[in-house]
């Protein structure tokens, strides 16, 4: 009796094993062995919490300026690569990089399907020319390059000041929808004329004014076009003010973020959706850090440093358009 059972068990085991091993040849796989991964108990971003100190990355960017020209590189950018992923992922849905243009240089005109927004970090007399509008860059400006718009960048500073900004692009999207492509323009520059104001430029002063006009220790401002729409169909941006010596309420959203510190000193406490991995990211002016989707975040501004202003690129338009927005305070 015992013997019969053993034989049938081992027959059964053999049958099970040969069943599983027969699957890959037919390009099929058993869902039940990985159902948790497919429909997890909580959102499961692949991106980790990461930060880039400006004081550490800027020297590398300036070294890049010594070894390659802006024109030769086409775009001289140090990509901010999430340590759990590879380029182009800064978060699961956002690409970010730091771009450098030295005086007299041109990053030649091209256009692509991908949307780009730029947050200007430092420099003077730099410009982005977008589809004929030559837009001067000033610290704190957000400048858009909508999909399929010709754009070139330059720096006309006479005192040797480098122009540096943060790029935010929707490049990760094109890993899912492989529809991004680029076209170079025949000349270095696409013909443009200087403009003072543009629907593509969002100066910092007006953003800060909005934030300061909201009462209380914490304020948030969502960048929008005049018609109320997000900055693009894929990525948009926000800015937050945290009063000195205060902590913002913990919040989590299905949106992911690339934060960039405009001004102030403090730290953010970030808890990943697994409810276990918590990290404290210390920051000061010009640092950049990630908040993965559904990570709980609160920002603390040190008392002695004055109030903090945090800028962030987000993927809100995509998440909203797909009906996937959720938020918990």
In the bound complex, what is the minimum distance in angstroms from residue 278's beta carbon to ligand GTQ?
31
- Of 97 and 126, the one with the shorter C-beta distance to ligand GTQ is 97
- For 258, the token pair is 């690339």
Distances (CA, A) of 51 to 69, 90, 156, 293: 27, 10, 31, 16
Interface of this chain with ligand GTQ, residues 78 to 97, rule: CB under 6 A? 97
**Rounded Cα gap, residues 179 and 2, in angstroms:** 62
**Rounded Cα gap, residues 143 and 232, in angstroms:** 12
- Of 94 and 116, the one with the shorter C-beta distance to ligand GTQ is 116
- Contact (CB, 8 A) for 301 and 308: yes
The binder of ligand GTQ chosen from 99, 234, 255, 288 (CB under 6 A): 99
- Contact (CB, 8 A) for 127 and 153: yes
In the bound complex, what is the minimum distance in angstroms from residue 216's beta carbon to ligand GTQ?
35
Interface of this chain with ligand GTQ, residues 217 to 276, rule: CB under 6 A? none
Site string for ligand GTQ, 123-162 (x = CB under 6 A): ----------------------------x-----------
- Of 75 and 161, the one with the shorter C-beta distance to ligand GTQ is 75
Q: For the residues of 186-216, what is the DSSP string, one character each?
A: SSSS---EEES--TTEE-HHHHHHHHHHS-S
- Of 166 and 319, the one with the shorter C-beta distance to ligand GTQ is 166
- Of 116 and 211, the one with the shorter C-beta distance to ligand GTQ is 116
In the bound complex, what is the minimum distance in angstroms from residue 30's beta carbon to ligand GTQ?
40
In the bound complex, what is the minimum distance in angstroms from residue 150's beta carbon to ligand GTQ?
10
Taking CB atoms, the residue at the shortest distance from ligand GTQ is 167
Site size toward ligand GTQ, by CB under 6 A: 9
Buried b (16+ CB within 10 A) or exposed e, 298-323: bbbbbeeeebbbbbbbbbbbbbeeee
Write down the H helix ranges in the chain: 2-22, 35-38, 54-67, 70-73, 173-176, 204-213, 316-321
In the bound complex, what is the minimum distance in angstroms from residue 126's beta carbon to ligand GTQ?
12
Residue 305: half-sphere exposure toward Cβ, Cα within 13 Å = 19
Residue 241, Cβ neighbours under 10 Å: how many?
Answer: 26
- Of 99 and 234, the one with the shorter C-beta distance to ligand GTQ is 99
- Of 115 and 204, the one with the shorter C-beta distance to ligand GTQ is 115
Q: Which of 180, 43, 22 is nearest to 114 (CA)?
A: 180
In the bound complex, what is the minimum distance in angstroms from residue 77's beta carbon to ligand GTQ?
4
Interface of this chain with ligand GTQ, residues 104 to 123, rule: CB under 6 A? 112, 116
- Of 112 and 265, the one with the shorter C-beta distance to ligand GTQ is 112
In the bound complex, what is the minimum distance in angstroms from residue 311's beta carbon to ligand GTQ?
17
**Rounded Cα gap, residues 165 and 139, in angstroms:** 9
In the bound complex, what is the minimum distance in angstroms from residue 110's beta carbon to ligand GTQ?
6
- Of 166 and 295, the one with the shorter C-beta distance to ligand GTQ is 166
Tell me: does residue 169 bind ligand GTQ (CB under 6 A): yes
- How many residues would you count in the chain? 329
The binder of ligand GTQ chosen from 50, 77, 137, 166 (CB under 6 A): 77
Q: Left, alpha or beta for 8 (phi > 0: left; psi -120 to 50: alpha)? A: alpha
Binding site for ligand GTQ (CB under 6 A): 75, 77, 97, 99, 112, 116, 151, 167, 169
């Amino acid at each position: 009796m015992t013997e019969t059972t053993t034989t049938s068990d081992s027959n059964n085991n053999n049958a099970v094993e040969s069943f599983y091993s027969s699957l890959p040849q037919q390009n099929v796989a058993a869902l039940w062995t990985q159902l948790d991964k497919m429909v997890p108990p909580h959102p499961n971003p692949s991106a980790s919490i990461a930060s880039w100190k400006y004081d550490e990355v800027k020297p590398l960017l300036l070294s890049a300026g010594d070894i390659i020209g802006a024109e030769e590189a086409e775009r001289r950018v140090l990509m901010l690569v999430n340590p759990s992923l590879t380029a182009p992922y800064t978060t699961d849905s956002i690409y970010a990089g730091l771009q450098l243009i030295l005086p007299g240089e041109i990053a030649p005109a091209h256009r692509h399907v991908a949307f780009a927004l730029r947050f200007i970090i430092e420099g003077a007399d730099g410009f982005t020319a977008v589809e004929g509008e030559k837009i001067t860059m000033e610290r704190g400006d957000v400048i858009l390059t909508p999909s399929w718009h010709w754009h070139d960048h330059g720096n006309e500073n006479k005192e040797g000041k480098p122009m540096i900004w943060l790029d935010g692009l929707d490049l990760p999207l094109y890993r899912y929808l492989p529809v991004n492509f680029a076209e170079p323009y025949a000349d270095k520059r696409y013909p443009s004329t200087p403009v003072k104001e543009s629907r593509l430029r969002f100066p910092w002063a007006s953003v800060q004014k909005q934030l300061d006009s909201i009462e209380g220790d914490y304020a948030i401002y969502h960048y929008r076009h005049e018609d109320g729409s997000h900055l693009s169909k894929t990525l948009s941006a926000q800015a937050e003010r945290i009063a000195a010596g205060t902590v913002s309420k913990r919040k989590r959203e299905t949106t992911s973020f690339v934060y960039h510190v405009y001004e102030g000193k403090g730290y953010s406490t970030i808890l990943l959706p697994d409810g276990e991995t918590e990290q404290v990211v210390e920051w000061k002016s010009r640092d950049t850090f990630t908040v993965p989707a559904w990570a709980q975040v609160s920002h603390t501004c040190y008392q002695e440093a004055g109030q903090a202003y945090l800028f962030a690129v987000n993927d809100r338009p995509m998440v909203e358009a797909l009906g996937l927005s959720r938020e918990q305070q």
